[in-house]
A and B are shown apart, each in its own frame.
Chain A
């Protein structure tokens, strides 16, 4: 992860002025391009945050009218919004917990053990990732209708666990592949049985990967609309609430919630990036 430039130092005098000028333009062209694409990526986010401070005239929050903090102060002033956000958080927390446990165990089996049916298990884990969400949602609803299961909170939970598991497996697997098994062997040599070794050696070393898988799962669950829409029944999650509101007029409070989720996520991510950069910096200094 060192910041080497791939162009080796060439004596400037050996290059013609034209070549140097062309290099200069080209290097900066790419930078300008990068800035423009970053702008494109950030634009809708800026709009969402900006319009959480808008003071719309009438029901539609499409045109900028004036600045107000009213919607931030009165964030749950819209009927059903608070319940929808709470439901989203509950489902995300519960389904992440279950999916992370199931996914970690599966990843361990697939990476650490050679057994009959390993390839099949691998494919079965990969398949939900390669299936369009609308098909996942439609097929689950099809099952629930046939089995006469009433859709609602628990059917959403079941669906979310199903599609988060694969993401957890992929994340944890990536980490397990580079795992030093000598540490576990050492623990066993010192008389620890398999369960103790797992608890005291394997689990702590895997913790960052499990956490990464869990965070990814939580983010995917809280953001999901398509699958949830099929299996939600009368239950409203935050995205479902937004969908309903979009058919009439989206209240600025929706922008407030979206901005708040965004700011929390970005803060966590930035802190994480800074910490890992500092650690990496210390490691290279030490070496």
Chain B
């Protein structure tokens, strides 16, 4: 066997890749193809037939337009909030936490050690009508007419922000941690104020982390349905909720399949727009 491999060095990488690629081909690419096939079917359960039913896709922009827009808005808001919350925190860890850095990083990852559903249910407890948060906000007069936090868009966005926080924080930390401190000293020697040094050295150098964090947060946020279902009402439902209920409750596979592709296309479009924004900013800056 060893001698065989030595004589045919060219095929070694293919042998190494084969099992994994086979798995991904069978259980990732093939299912996507089937989903595509199903998205163009029409009829009703259990008799669907393939008819190039493009109308399934149109539904996303007519029947389910509010949910589609909500997916984008909630995921976008949660991503921005996570960025604003995470950046100063990981900046503090990278530059001020000294040798306890890894311990503080553990605090960021810790929520992941509590099952996703359960940490969302914990927010249900915290934001509950009889809970302390609602009490304080009500006293301050910051709540709407019905005096509730649960079942509002605020609760859903807060839940999404919390759930994907680490995905934003860790990439930014990695890029901040790699910054050569001598560059900051050089900036200081050249009479840059701390603010200038931050804006012209630290921030640009952490840009790759911000980009990675944004992608990693936005993708699962846009496809989420748990937060809207547990912390919201049907008025907060996102595209994920529609896909989930069409697929598993209403057994309307074609619509669910078409909506899945619309979700992917929407995420891709949003990311491309973001990439362009970053690109032009870099060009002009």
| Max chain A Cβ within 10 angstroms of own Cβ: one of B2, B86, B122 | B122
Contact indicator A273/B260 (Cβ below 8 Å): no
Q: A31-B96, A194-B2, A246-B230 are in contact. Are A254 and B118 (CB under 8 A)?
A: yes
Query: How far apart are the CA atoms of A188 and B95 in the complex, in Å?
Result: 44
Q: What distance in Å separates the Cβ of A135 from its nearest Cβ neighbour in chain B?
A: 5
**Could you say which residues of chain B place their CB within 8 Å of the CB of A162?**
23-24, 27-28
Quick check: is A25 within 8 A (CB to CB) of the other chain?
no
Q: What distance in Å separates the Cβ of A113 from its nearest Cβ neighbour in chain B?
A: 4
Contact indicator B223/A133 (Cβ below 8 Å): yes
Residue of B nearest to A143 (CB): B31
Contact indicator A159/B27 (Cβ below 8 Å): yes
> Please, what's the 1-or-0 string for B257-273, where 1 marks a CB less than 8 Å from any CB in chain A?
10010011001000000
Quick check: is A131 within 8 A (CB to CB) of the other chain?
yes
Q: What distance in Å separates the Cβ of B150 from its nearest Cβ neighbour in chain A?
A: 11
Query: How far apart are the CA atoms of A223 and B99 in the complex, in Å?
Result: 30
Contact indicator A230/B17 (Cβ below 8 Å): no
Contact indicator B260/A266 (Cβ below 8 Å): no
Query: How far apart are the CA atoms of A48 and B98 in the complex, in Å?
Result: 30
Q: What distance in Å separates the Cβ of A80 from its nearest Cβ neighbour in chain B?
A: 16
Contact indicator A121/B21 (Cβ below 8 Å): yes
Quick check: is B243 within 8 A (CB to CB) of the other chain?
yes
Contact indicator A193/B2 (Cβ below 8 Å): yes
Q: A34-B92, A47-B126, A250-B121 are in contact. Are A132 and B220 (CB under 8 A)?
A: yes
**Could you say which residues of chain A place their CB within 8 Å of the CB of B189?**
8
Residue of B nearest to A32 (CB): B92
Query: How far apart are the CA atoms of A102 and B113 in the complex, in Å?
Result: 25
Contact indicator A145/B88 (Cβ below 8 Å): no
How many of chain A's residues touch chain B, expressed as a range? 35 or more
Residue of B nearest to A238 (CB): B115
Query: How far apart are the CA atoms of A146 and B34 in the complex, in Å?
Result: 8
Query: How far apart are the CA atoms of A254 and B194 in the complex, in Å?
Result: 49
**Could you say which residues of chain A place their CB within 8 Å of the CB of B223?**
132-135, 226
Question: Considering only CB atoms and an 8 Å cut-off, how many residues of chain B contact the other chain?
Answer: 93
Q: What distance in Å separates the Cβ of A152 from its nearest Cβ neighbour in chain B?
A: 15
Of B28, B85, B125, B194, which one neighbours A127 at CB under 8 angstroms? B28
Quick check: is A140 within 8 A (CB to CB) of the other chain?
yes
Contact indicator A242/B117 (Cβ below 8 Å): yes
Interfacial residues of chain A within 187-242, with CB under 8 A of chain B in the complex: 193-196, 219, 222-226, 229-230, 238-239, 242
Of A63, A105, A243, which one neighbours B19 at CB under 8 angstroms? A105
Contact indicator B1/A44 (Cβ below 8 Å): no
Q: What distance in Å separates the Cβ of B242 from its nearest Cβ neighbour in chain A?
A: 10
Interfacial residues of chain A within 39-55, with CB under 8 A of chain B in the complex: 40-45, 47-48, 51
Of B21, B30, B91, B123, which one neighbours A44 at CB under 8 angstroms? B123
Contact indicator B109/A269 (Cβ below 8 Å): yes
Interfacial residues of chain B within 235-274, with CB under 8 A of chain A in the complex: 240, 243-244, 247-248, 253, 256-257, 260, 263-264, 267
**Could you say which residues of chain A place their CB within 8 Å of the CB of B21?**
106, 121, 124
Contact indicator A134/B244 (Cβ below 8 Å): yes
Q: A219-B112, A242-B121 are in contact. Are A6 and B181 (CB under 8 A)?
A: yes
Q: A31-B96, A106-B20, A194-B6 are in contact. Are A143 and B13 (CB under 8 A)?
A: no
Quick check: is A139 within 8 A (CB to CB) of the other chain?
yes
Can you list 28 A-B pairs with a CB-CB distance of less than 8 A? A8-B188, A27-B96, A30-B88, A33-B88, A41-B110, A45-B110, A47-B125, A48-B114, A48-B119, A103-B20, A105-B16, A128-B28, A131-B264, A134-B223, A134-B240, A135-B32, A138-B260, A142-B34, A159-B27, A165-B20, A193-B3, A194-B2, A226-B223, A242-B115, A254-B118, A266-B106, A266-B113, A273-B103
Residues of A that sit less than 8 Å from B by CB? 1, 3-8, 26-27, 30-31, 33-34, 37-38, 40-45, 47-48, 51, 62-63, 101-103, 105-106, 108-110, 112-113, 115, 118, 121, 124-125, 127-128, 130-136, 138-143, 145-146, 158-159, 161-162, 165, 169, 193-196, 219, 222-226, 229-230, 238-239, 242-243, 246, 250, 254-255, 258, 261-262, 265-266, 269-270, 273, 276-277, 281
Q: Enumerate the 9 nearest inter-chain pairs by beta-carbon distance, A residue then B residue, closest first.
A: A132-B223, A193-B2, A44-B122, A139-B31, A113-B13, A109-B16, A265-B113, A102-B20, A139-B35
